[in-house]
């Protein structure tokens, strides 16, 4: 006689655990970089320039990431320079960790040429943080890669879930 | 003596024309097209052992006013990922994310090389490998390695 209430209580407990835990699990598996992000950068150890004097400053950047199967693309909307100015990039995601590579926009010698590599992780569904390394097109034998390098921190907040154009 | 001077002037003019023509032709050359690229990088962060692999790279033309172009990169296992390229004269820069596969750790690749032989080959290009493994003693805060690549235009 006593077995039935215990059995029912057990089922109810399992259902309750399922209801509570399911949204979190779904949320974690659905984390994606796809969307528009406002990226803010800050110096590391107050380094404003690379050893060779290159710098990107620390402006806010509007970055878009899109995905079509294994083809993962991105761009930076540089409307501060021009409507058509969209530095291009690609990205990769393994669980909570993200990686991206972007080319720098360098129409003339006033702009440093190079490539940016981002490494970061999700803090929550709509916030990521990490570091960026800029590998400039200028040789520097003191760096392990042989090229002038500059690093900085970034945090990014999601503005929308769309991939942009 | 007068004839010699005329010949020198004529030859100079011809040389100038040829130079100007070659500059015009050179200015029109673009990286976009299909390339077979052979890349040699360490097998893992800090490893002296290297691995060499070949990818087929299909670089689409840059959109109007853009300094950058996109590309697809197909590896020997027919896995295709995307990449980006930038060109400055004969120099080309390529960036792409190396897919994570068993036996080859994840990494970002930055490749720089100079196009030669009428923009059909790249020899001894540089590769910067930035691995996914954090390393506080590396300035970039992640393990990095150097590699090399060569490329041959197929189309």
- Per-residue confidence (pLDDT) for residue A3, from 0 to 100: 59
Q: Are A21 and A66 part of one and the same domain?
A: no
| A165 is a domain residue | no
Average pLDDT, chain B: 88
Whether A107 contacts chain B with CB within 8 A: yes
Specify the higher pLDDT residue, A5 or B64.
B64
Q: Are A16 and A47 part of one and the same domain?
A: no
Nearest chain B Cα distance for residue A116, angstroms: 9
| A101 is a domain residue | yes
Q: Are A47 and A124 part of one and the same domain?
A: yes
Q: What is the mean pLDDT of residues A110-122?
A: 96
Q: Are A9 and A87 part of one and the same domain?
A: no
Q: Are A79 and A112 part of one and the same domain?
A: yes
- Per-residue confidence (pLDDT) for residue B103, from 0 to 100: 73
Helix (H, G, I), strand (E, B) or coil at A62: strand
Decide if B93 and A86 are in contact by the 8 Å CB cutoff: no
- Per-residue confidence (pLDDT) for residue B28, from 0 to 100: 62
| A23 is a domain residue | yes
With a CB-CB cutoff of 8 Å, which residues 110-149 of chain A face chain B? 113-115, 117, 119, 131, 133, 135, 137, 143-147, 149
> Confidence band (pLDDT; 50, 70, 90) for B115?
very high
Please state which of the ranges A26-40, A48-62, A75-89 shows the lowest mean pLDDT. Answer: A26-40
- Per-residue confidence (pLDDT) for residue A5, from 0 to 100: 62
- Percent of chain B having pLDDT more than 70? 83
Q: Are A77 and A133 part of one and the same domain?
A: yes
Decide if B132 and A103 are in contact by the 8 Å CB cutoff: no
Say how far apart CA A93 and CA A73 lie, in whole Å.
Answer: 12
CATH code, domain with A47: 2.40.128.120
Q: What is the mean pLDDT of residues B134-153?
A: 97
> Confidence band (pLDDT; 50, 70, 90) for A27?
very low
Say how far apart CA B32 and CA A28 lie, in whole Å.
Answer: 39
Indicate which of B107, B128, B133, B148 best probes the interface with A, i.e. most A CBs within 10 Å of its own CB.
B128
Say how far apart CA B73 and CA A66 lie, in whole Å.
Answer: 17
Taking only the tens place, the pLDDT of each residue in B79-95 is 999 999 999 999 999 99
Average pLDDT, chain A: 87
B75 pLDDT more than 60: yes
Shortest CA distance from A150: residue in chain B: B140
> Confidence band (pLDDT; 50, 70, 90) for B65?
confident
Bridge partners, residue B51, by sequence: B41
> Confidence band (pLDDT; 50, 70, 90) for A139?
very high
**Residue A91 exposure: Cα atoms within 13 Å on the Cβ side:** 27
A79 pLDDT more than 70: yes
Decide if B79 and A70 are in contact by the 8 Å CB cutoff: yes
Q: Which residues of B touch A92 (CB under 8 A)?
A: 81, 97, 99-100, 106, 108
User: B74 exposed, middle or buried (CB, 10 Å; 0-12, 13-18, 19+)?
Assistant: middle
Whether B82 contacts chain A with CB within 8 A: yes
Say how far apart CA A139 and CA B82 lie, in whole Å.
Answer: 27
Nearest chain A Cα distance for residue B135, angstroms: 12
Helix (H, G, I), strand (E, B) or coil at A79: coil
- Per-residue confidence (pLDDT) for residue B14, from 0 to 100: 54
Q: What is the mean pLDDT of residues A68-95?
A: 93
Nearest chain B Cα distance for residue A119, angstroms: 8
Q: Are A4 and A79 part of one and the same domain?
A: no
Q: Are A72 and A94 part of one and the same domain?
A: yes
Specify the higher pLDDT residue, B29 or B72.
B72
| A53 is a domain residue | yes
Provide the number of structural domains found in chain A. 2
Q: Are A1 and A51 part of one and the same domain?
A: no
Q: What is the mean pLDDT of residues A142-154?
A: 97
Q: Are A91 and A120 part of one and the same domain?
A: yes
> Confidence band (pLDDT; 50, 70, 90) for A4?
low
| A136 is a domain residue | yes
Indicate which of B46, B57, B84 best probes the interface with A, i.e. most A CBs within 10 Å of its own CB.
B84
| A72 is a domain residue | yes
| A95 is a domain residue | yes
Domain that holds residue A8: 1-30
Q: Are A8 and A47 part of one and the same domain?
A: no
- Residue contacts between A and B (CB atoms, under 8 Å): 121
B18 pLDDT more than 80: no
Whether B133 contacts chain A with CB within 8 A: no
Decide if A147 and B83 are in contact by the 8 Å CB cutoff: no
| A154 is a domain residue | yes
- Residue B100 phi, psi dihedral angles, 5° rounding: -80, 120
How many distinct helices (H) and strands (E) make up chain A? 1, 8
- Per-residue confidence (pLDDT) for residue B19, from 0 to 100: 46
Whether A71 contacts chain B with CB within 8 A: yes
Q: What is the mean pLDDT of residues A142-148?
A: 96
A15 pLDDT more than 50: no
- Per-residue confidence (pLDDT) for residue A22, from 0 to 100: 46
Shortest CA distance from B105: residue in chain A: A94
Shortest CA distance from A73: residue in chain B: B82
Q: Are A112 and A75 part of one and the same domain?
A: yes
- Per-residue confidence (pLDDT) for residue A165, from 0 to 100: 53
Specify the higher pLDDT residue, A71 or B20.
A71
């Amino acid at each position: 006689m006593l077995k039935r209430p215990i059995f029912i209580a057990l089922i109810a407990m399992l259902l309750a655990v399922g209801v509570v835990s399911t949204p979190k699990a779904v949320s974690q598996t659905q984390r994606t970089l796809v969307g528009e992000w406002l990226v803010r950068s800050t110096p590391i150890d107050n380094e404003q320039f690379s050893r060779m004097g290159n710098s990107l400053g620390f402006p806010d950047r509007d970055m878009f990431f899109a995905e079509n199967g294994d083809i993962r693309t991105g761009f930076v909307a540089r409307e501060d320079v021009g409507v058509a100015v969209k530095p291009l990039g690609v990205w990769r995601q393994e669980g909570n960790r993200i990686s991206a590579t972007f080319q720098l926009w360098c129409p003339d010698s006033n702009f440093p040429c190079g490539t940016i590599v981002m490494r970061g992780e999700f803090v929550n569904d709509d916030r990521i943080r990490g570091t960026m390394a800029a590998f400039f097109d200028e040789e520097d034998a003191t760096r392990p890669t042989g090229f002038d390098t500059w690093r900085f921190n970034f945090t990014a907040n999601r503005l929308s879930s769309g991939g942009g154009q | 003596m007068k004839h010699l001077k005329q010949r020198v002037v004529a030859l100079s003019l011809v040389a100038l024309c040829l130079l100007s023509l070659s500059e015009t032709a050179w200015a029109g050359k673009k990286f976009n097209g299909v390339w077979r690229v052979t890349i040699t990088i360490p097998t893992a962060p800090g490893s002296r052992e290297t691995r060499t692999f070949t990818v087929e790279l299909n670089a689409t033309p840059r959109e109007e006013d853009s300094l950058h172009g996109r590309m697809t990169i197909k590896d020997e296992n027919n896995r295709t990922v995307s990449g980006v390229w930038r060109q400055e004269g004969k120099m080309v820069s390529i960036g792409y994310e190396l897919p994570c596969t068993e036996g080859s750790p994840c990494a970002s690749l930055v490749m720089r090389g100079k196009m030669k032989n009428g923009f059909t080959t790249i020899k001894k290009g540089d590769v910067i490998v930035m691995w996914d493994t954090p390393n506080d003693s590396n300035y970039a805060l992640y393990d990095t390695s150097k590699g090399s690549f060569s490329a041959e235009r197929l189309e």
